[in-house]
Amino acid sequence: MDAPNFVNDARPQNPAQDFEFLRSQGLQFIQELGGAFWTDYNDHDPGITILEQLCYALTDLAYRTDLPVQDHLAGQSAEQKPFFIPHQILPCQPLTLLDYRKCLLDAVEKIRNVWLLPLSPDEHSLSGLYKMLLDADERIEKPEEKTLLIESARAVFHQNRNLGEDLEDVIVLEPVFLSLYADIEISQPDQIEGILAQIFFQINEYLHPEVQFYSLAELMAEGYALTEIFEGPLLKHGFIKNKALTPKLDRVLVSELIKIIMQVPGVVSVKNVHLRQLDEIYDNQFTIPLHQKPRLLLGSRPGREDLTINFSKTMSIMTRLTGCCFGAN
């Protein structure tokens, strides 16, 4: 004959499993810390109800942690998992501007980058409004394609926006083309093509860095913690590093271009650096309008034979390359 089941009325030896003990300790703390303001300790008081819920949660946690580890790891079936996996518990709904940018880059296929700019009180009396700036795929030229892109970006934002937030306008950035002029001294003339390619690549990264998606394995190999990797919304195409989501470039600094060129292996010195946009010359900086984006041109402008970059070794001119420009596209 099976032994009857019954509820043991003995007090638990572990205080964390003793509801009455926890409740009395909680009341004591409340009286010590809030006695001057909290005068009702009866069961109907909402604060006492919250205390009792907390005590119950503590006893439940203490009971579970007292069980053998194998009971936690074993489920009723092969499909039942006792613990949440990272992508189920760590991500959250979009909250910050970086979160919105990640969602848009993940969901809208034909954008290279996107920025959300909060409107100032001088621009609009309502708070919570944004301007969205889209760096679209350069192969999108037809007006109907741009309209469809804007509608897709709006839809993604509206699906993920927080309460009290909305878009005032969506702008597809137009390219502004600039030419780079410089006299560069190099140490290895036989490596001139590789040096020039590196200069163009590094300047392109400065003007419009590419936003890349990474796998979980790649980020863990770089030393990122799971809490960092899964911070923000869960994306379909991988993970985006926060540091890759830089602000929109509002000006091109000639001093920054000189620094970039000097860091290219093989470059000894650089001088006479300036920018040209159409017939205007800029030897300090070029200010980028809000609705435009800079690009690097790799060919001379039609009808012109500009010698944009001159390479030399020591003091003698070794090679001249025509049409080495950068611009906005």
3-state SS assignment for residue 172: strand
Residue 234 domain-assigned? no
Residues 43 and 131 in one domain: no
Residues 106 and 200 in one domain: no
Residues 45 and 151 in one domain: no
**Which residue range is the domain that position 148 belongs to?**
97-174
| Strand spans (E) along the chain | 111-118, 129-136, 166-172, 174-186, 251-253, 267-277, 280-282, 285-287, 292-296, 309-313, 316-321
What CA–CA distance (Å, rounded) separates 156 from 154? 6
What CA–CA distance (Å, rounded) separates 253 from 246? 16
Number of domains in the chain: 3
Residue 1 pLDDT: 62
Residue 208 pLDDT: 85
Residues 166 and 282 in one domain: no
Residues 106 and 196 in one domain: no
**Of 130, 162, 133, 164, nearest to 150 (Cα)?**
133
Residue 321 pLDDT: 47
Residue 307 pLDDT: 57
Residue 265 domain-assigned? yes
Angle between helices 46-65 and 19-34 (to 10 degrees): 140
Residue 231 domain-assigned? no
Residues 135 and 50 in one domain: no
Residues 152 and 256 in one domain: no
Residues 317 and 186 in one domain: yes
CATH value at residue 105: 3.30.300.30
Residue 221 domain-assigned? no
Residue 104 domain-assigned? yes
Residues 73 and 110 in one domain: no
Neighbours of 105 (CB within 10 A): 21
Residue 200 domain-assigned? yes
- The CA dihedral of 249, 253, 258, 261, to the nearest 10 degrees, is 20
Residues 198 and 158 in one domain: no
Given a cut of 70, the residues of the chain with pLDDT beneath it are 1, 75-82, 298-307, 314-329
Residue 59 domain-assigned? yes
Residues 140 and 161 in one domain: yes
What CA–CA distance (Å, rounded) separates 162 from 164? 6
Residue 135 domain-assigned? yes
Alpha helices in 174-308 (DSSP H): 192-207, 216-221, 226-229, 254-262
Read off the pTM. Answer: 0.70
Residues 285 and 189 in one domain: yes
